[in-house]
Structure 1
Amino acid sequence: MRRLTLTALALTLVAVLTACQNPHPPGPTGKVTDRHKGTGSRYSLTVTGHKFRVTRSDYRHCYRGSHYPTCTHR
């Protein structure tokens, strides 16, 4: 019974840690030149000619002319 409880706890911990990670790799450092809101939960920024996906929170905090990734820190 104890082994089952520890296994369930470990699986829960892995699920929580996975959910908290940023699902998109970070983009290049630079000035935000464009913002794109696609369908559903697809948000992206363009920095120095490179378009990349970001989280909704990053999209909300980074405006044209702001510096990425500094704009993502609150």
Structure 2
Amino acid sequence: MNRAIRLAALATAAALLVTGCKKDFPEGPPGRVVKRNSDLVSIKPTIVKRYLTTESRAGKRSTFRVSKEDFRLCNEGSSYPGCLARNKPKGKP
């Protein structure tokens, strides 16, 4: 009985961990990345919100939230969303 409960709890924890890893945020407007910003929201559990600010050719700035991977791939001065496709590791969808 205890083994069944532990196994069920372990399976539930694994499922929650897998679904919580990848966060998909809506894609921001295209433009040149002019600022990268990350805010620590909480320590336990560690929650960090990451933002990119892009500037369009017309000079309009837009700030939007991105995933950890998108934040890592796009540096200041690169074009968004081109930096995502260009820097994505080969073999990953």
Q: TM-score range by the shorter chain?
A: 0.5 to 0.7
Tell me the TM-score normalized by structure 2.
0.52
Higher strand proportion (structure 1 or 2):
2
Aligned to 1:9: 10
**Residue 33 (structure 2) pairs with residue 33 (structure 1):** yes
Q: Which runs of 5+ in 2 are unaligned?
A: 41-47
**Corresponding residue pairs, total:** 73
Question: Identity across aligned pairs (percent)?
Answer: 25
Change (3 A) 1:58 1:17: same
Cα separation, 2, equivalents of 1:38 and 1:20: 17
After TM superposition, where is structure 1 displaced by more than 6 Å over at least 4 residues in a row?
none
Aligned to 2:63: 51
Structure 1 residue 62, shift from structure 2 partner: 0.5
CA contact (8 A) 1:43 1:55 kept: yes
Q: Which runs of 5+ in 1 are unaligned?
A: none
Tell me the TM-score normalized by structure 1.
0.59
What's the C-alpha RMSD, in Å, of the aligned pairs?
2.8
